[in-house]
Structure 1
Amino acid sequence: MLKDISDWELVGYGGKSTLEKEELRSPNRIDYLIKYPREFDEGVSWEDLTELIAAKIGTLCGLEMMKVEMVIRKGKRGCLLRNFVKEHNAMMAEEGGSLLPSLVDGYHELLESPLKNIELIEYGFKFMEKFPYWSAMKSEFINLQLFDVLIGNQDRHPFNWFYIQE
């Protein structure tokens, strides 16, 4: 039986995303996001469940992952995630959450690059080396990319890269 969070306070809607999102506040005043699966003529996708599976597998592999829980809100299934931006008072640069444009020159050129395949990957890593925290995060970043390859995650694009330094 999934926990029903229908009575939680709606505080907003989660920016640009491929999935419908709501920003919620729990009765004990903790901020969360809920992601709902895409709806089709017949049923819904399992994208919300894959968030949970990825978080569990990543944790088993020793990676620091978001805390994810499957819930029901107003009759709809979704995955509930702690809002790490508010929880860690993280700085967000622009819609979509990317910090890279504010920290490294040339980010928009990377996004608009005509390069493909290995040339784009090499250019991307050269770009990342300019990031001020690269040496501190390099190992974890590469581990996350390898993890995504293993689980088939196609959603860790530059607008979903976050680095929280406490």
Structure 2
Amino acid sequence: MNNFETTFTEITDWQKILYYNTGGTRSKKIIIHPFSNEEYFFKGSKINKKNGQTLYPTEFWSEIVSSKIGQLLGFNMLDYNIAYDKNDIQKIGCISKSMILNSENNLTEGKTYLTGFDSKYNPDIDKTKYTFQFIKNSLIYFQLNPYINNIIEIIVFDSIVGNSDRHQENWGVIMFYRKAIEEINKKLSNKELSFWGKIDMKFKRFLNEFFILLHKEDRKISKSNLKLHSEITLHKFAPIYDSGCCLG
């Protein structure tokens, strides 16, 4: 059981990226490890938008406990632990290592695929349309069929911990742009590669560089480009994350 014990990290002196906020109802900040320069997320509890008060000062615990339960049961989980910042309004919360590096890859959330598959779909209104079959058809459309099993695993995990908040932004696919470019450059160094093969590889490299630019500028990827996204970029399904609305 020792592998699943929670760690405690003081992050008071860590660099904070204050201008960048992630989505969701809970306070989140990106923080930078002082020695490795790796990105982490510090997440507190829900904030009352009207008066700024913390609604559930210990809600971060369910995020931590659910991640440990998931790991114990063999699910691919994003690991959450305790963090403390004496200068933060909430002071204590949970910390997780970032799944992505903004200069190298990107998390494409489920919402992007669902609205790309059906442009009329509105996640805020069409609640009853958000079904397993709808998600499955969207993944098939974008040639991400192997990740249907990952969705099933999420459903099983959420059933075990009683998670009631697996919305369209709480699952996704990580795209490895920089790694894809490195693989393409290796193939281009092959002297036996044909002329048209080189043209194909260079075009794919250009597209990956284009996707990096779109991501940095926070621009939406079109439906047609989203198909190319999964065809020419290395990717994998993201670990299970944001499962804090659970365990009662």
Q: Of 30, 46, 67, which aligns to 1:38? A: 46
Task: Read off the aligned partner of 1:23 and give its amino acid letter.
Answer: I
Query: Is 1:3 aligned with 2:9?
Result: yes
The question of whether the paired residues in 2 share the 8 Å contact of 1:37 and 1:77 is answered with no
- Could you list the structure 1 runs, at least 4 aligned residues long, displaced by more than 4 angstroms after superposition: 39-43, 112-115
**TM-score relative to the length of structure 2:** 0.54
Partner of 2:151: 141
Q: Of 161, 165, 176, which aligns to 1:155? A: 165
Looking at structure 1, the residues matched to 55 and 131 of structure 2 have their Cα atoms a distance apart, in angstroms, of 37
Structure 1, gaps ≥5 residues long: none
**Closer, same or farther: CA 115–27 of 1 in aligned 2, 3 Å:** closer
**Closer, same or farther: CA 139–124 of 1 in aligned 2, 3 Å:** closer
Task: Read off the aligned partner of 1:10 and give its amino acid letter.
Answer: K
The question of whether the paired residues in 1 share the 8 Å contact of 2:27 and 2:44 is answered with yes
After superposition, the C-alpha distances for 1:94-136 in whole angstroms (9 at most, x for unaligned) are xxx526536973344333574738x9443343333323222x2
1:10-159 aligned at under 5 Å gives the runs 10-12=16-18, 13-28=20-35, 29-38=37-46, 44-74=56-86, 76-86=91-101, 89-92=104-107, 98=109, 101=112, 105-111=116-122, 114=126, 116=128, 120-134=131-145, 136-159=146-169
Task: Read off the aligned partner of 1:130 and give its amino acid letter.
Answer: Y
Query: What secondary structure sits across from 1:84 in the alignment?
Result: coil
**TM-score relative to the length of structure 1:** 0.77
Percent identical among aligned pairs is 21
Query: What secondary structure sits across from 1:80 in the alignment?
Result: strand
Looking at structure 1, the residues matched to 62 and 105 of structure 2 have their Cα atoms a distance apart, in angstroms, of 25
Q: Which of 1 and 2 has greater Rg?
A: 2
The question of whether the paired residues in 2 share the 8 Å contact of 1:103 and 1:131 is answered with no
Higher RCO (CA 8 Å, separation ≥ 6 residues): 2
RMSD: 3.1
Query: What secondary structure sits across from 2:45 in the alignment?
Result: coil
Looking at structure 1, the residues matched to 118 and 170 of structure 2 have their Cα atoms a distance apart, in angstroms, of 14
Structure 2, gaps ≥5 residues long: 1-6, 175-234, 237-248
The question of whether the paired residues in 1 share the 8 Å contact of 2:114 and 2:135 is answered with no
